[in-house]
Amino acid sequence: MAAEDRTSIAQSAQADWTAPLALTLAALFWSGNFIAGRALRDDIDPVTLNTLRWALAALLFLLFVAPACRANTGAIRHQWRYLLALGATGIAAFHTTVYVALTQTTATNALLVLALAPAAILLGAALTGANRPTPLQWAGSALSLLGAAVLVTQADIDVLRALAFNPGDLWMLAAVVIWAAYSLLLQRRPQELPPTVALAASMGFGVVLMLAAMVILQPVAHLPVNTGFIGALAYIVVFPSVLAFWLWGYGVARLGPARAGQFIHLMPVFGPVLAMVILGERIVAAQLAGAAIVFAGIAAVLLGARK
């Protein structure tokens, strides 16, 4: 066997486990963002929170990627429209919309609506020609959605009956559409833009857009100064922002948006685990069953794509 073939096989094997691991960690970190965002809903408005989050995240990320950004200044100028679209969708619009939703709806409703995101990405990939999902992929997506519903409702029909949809749920539905657009844009990243440079530049564009929104919507912002707020903000800046977005971009580049999108269904899996660890809540049998269904659905999507 030629050395080139052995190298290709080794890289392929690495991608087989590194991409799912990266997407799993991204889902875990984003699950914590929902808890933090819900906890801060009475302390800071959504626009100010998202602006502060990404301004700090951009500064932190630039400490590591500034040399790469300087080396790719020409590519950034050439692809500024693409980077602006990334910043507008994934940085500015999506999380602001989520934070607005969390001020008007429950975490249960928010997670239930968010579970539609993988199906939206799969549909978007099919409509735009980015991917042609196989029947097994469609079935796996539906299975994961069912598992997410079981997780959120704990298989209790009374929970479904008690769900009262409100404007917050419509905000979450808008967030799902925005996230699908962002994920599809990621797959179209120009080769001249390294992933880290694209992420750093999109952060910059997103912060500019958020600052403009603050001037218009929230010219006077109130920032609470207490250990709880500082700790929650530090978590949001480091894990759901810098690390999760880098991991998500890596996973989408490796697997494509349709397959990568299924890992969002892990968020209702991680939510109860985080609630147990942080809030002392207990996990019931229905949640374990729902988690198993989610994992089976993700496996079907990945297998369907290989076939």
Average predicted confidence (pLDDT) for the chain: 80
Q: For residue 160, name the pLDDT band (cuts at 50, 70, 90).
A: low
Residues near 231 by Cβ (< 8 Å), separated by ≥ 6? none
> In Å, how far are 90, 166, 223 from 104, measured between CA atoms?
21, 7, 21
Residue whose pair of structure tokens reads 């049998």 in the numeric block: 285
pLDDT surpasses 70 at 213? yes
In this prediction, residue 208 carries a pLDDT of 95
Q: For residue 61, name the pLDDT band (cuts at 50, 70, 90).
A: very high
What are the residue ranges of helices labelled H in 115-194? 117-128, 135-153, 157-162, 167-187
Residue whose pair of structure tokens reads 């009475």 in the numeric block: 42
10 Å Cβ neighbour count for 134? 17
Of 26, 301, 36, 13, the closest CA to residue 183 belongs to: 26
Of 79, 119, 150, 151, the closest CA to residue 298 belongs to: 119
164-209 pLDDT, tens per residue?
556 887 898 899 899 989 988 988 899 999 999 999 999 999 999 9
Domain boundaries, the chain: 22-306
Question: Does the pTM exceed 0.85?
Answer: no
Q: For residue 85, name the pLDDT band (cuts at 50, 70, 90).
A: very high
In this prediction, residue 197 carries a pLDDT of 94
- By CB atoms closer than 10 A (0-12, 13-18, 19+), residue 38 is middle
Q: What span, in angstroms and rounded, lies between the C-alpha atoms of 96 and 10?
A: 40
Dihedral through CA 76, CA 79, CA 82, CA 85, nearest 10?
Answer: 50
φ, ψ of residue 164 in degrees (nearest 5)? -120, 110
Q: Which amino acid is at 46?
A: P
Q: What span, in angstroms and rounded, lies between the C-alpha atoms of 13 and 31?
A: 28
